[in-house]
Structure 1
Amino acid sequence: MEKIAQDVGDIQSRLLDHRPVINAEIRYFVREFEEKRGHRESRLLENLNKIVLETNEQMPDSNLEDINRQLSDVAKRLEAAKHMAERVQQRELEAQQSTQLQANMECLKDEWAEFLKEQQRLKEEVDEEHAKAVEQLRTRYSEMKKDLTKFTPL
């Protein structure tokens, strides 16, 4: 029974214990990046740092003043360009509003023409009704005048 337990333990350690495999992978990784590459990345970073430090030491203060002056000139130019772009945008907006205003004016002119036609039609109707009323009054008064002449002695 002990031999079976020992065999089961060996099988379990081989199947479920991954530490030896992981340790081997870690050793391979370390050897690959530290030994074979020979700290190439760290040397590259050190060289870049040295170049940056040398450049900072060599750059005189006058260059910084020139850079600041140039940056202020660029900022002024950008502000002028922004102002010009805003003016162009304002002109386009005014032109668009002008075309809308013209379209509204045309619409209003058409409506005004329709209104005048309607007013002319209504005026003609009123004139016709007035003429009919005048004619009726004339005929009525002429009949009354005839009746009156019948009753008056001559």
Structure 2
Amino acid sequence: VGEIYSRLLDHRPVIQGEIRYFIKEFEEKRGLRELRVLENLKNTILEANEHVLLRNEQALHHSLSEVLKRVQAANTTIQRLQEREHEERKLQEDKLLAREEKQVAHWEEFMREQQKQRGEVDEEHRKAVERLREQYSEMEKDLAKYSSF
């Protein structure tokens, strides 16, 4: 039972063998090659951090300052355009109000003229009705004269 257990369930000897093989492979065959590769990577990263990163940071600051200047110039231009548009809109509103006031004054004048003309027409109509009454009254008198014969 112990032998069956060790063969089927105890993996320590197999794992220890794999560990020894890995160490042997890594240390003996490869030697210090991985260590040199890691050292080279470390040097490359340090160089990048010291030189490339500094140059990129300076280029970034320069580019951002240029972009900031352009954005400020665009912002100034847009503000001027908005001010002009506001002034133009104000001018148009003033013109519209002046036209509206002129139209209202014209309408009031028109209505006064219409009232005046209506009064004249009413007066002419009243006079015409009065003349017709007189004419019919005379005709009735004449008719009364002729009918008494």
Q: TM-score range by the shorter chain?
A: 0.5 to 0.7
Q: What displacement does 1:60 show?
A: 4.2
Q: Give TM-score, length-normalised by structure 2.
A: 0.57
Find out whether 1:87 has 2:82 as its counterpart: yes
**2:142 is matched with which residue?**
147
- Per-residue displacement from partner, 1:42-101 (whole Å, max 9, x unpaired)? xxxxxxxxxxxxxxxxx9454233211211122122222322221221111111111121
Structure 2 unaligned residues grouped into runs of 5+: 1-53
- Partner Cα separation in structure 1 for residue 88 and residue 61 of structure 2: 40
Counterpart of 1:93, as a letter, is E
| TM-score, with structure 1 as normaliser | 0.55
Greater Rg, structure 1 or structure 2? 2
How many angstroms apart in 1 are the aligned matches of 2:97 and 2:147?
72
Higher relative contact order (CA 8 A, sep 6+): 1
- How many residue pairs align between the two structures? 96
Q: Which residue of 2 aligns with 1:34?
A: none
Q: How is 1:4-153 mapped onto 2 (pairs within 5 angstroms)?
A: 60=55, 62-153=57-148
CA RMSD in angstroms comes to 2.1
SS in 2 for 1:147: helix
Note the residue ranges of structure 1 that are not aligned, 5 or more in a row.
1-58
SS at 1:144 equivalent: helix
The answer to which of 135-144 and 96-105 deviates more is: 96-105
Percent identity of equivalent pairs: 32
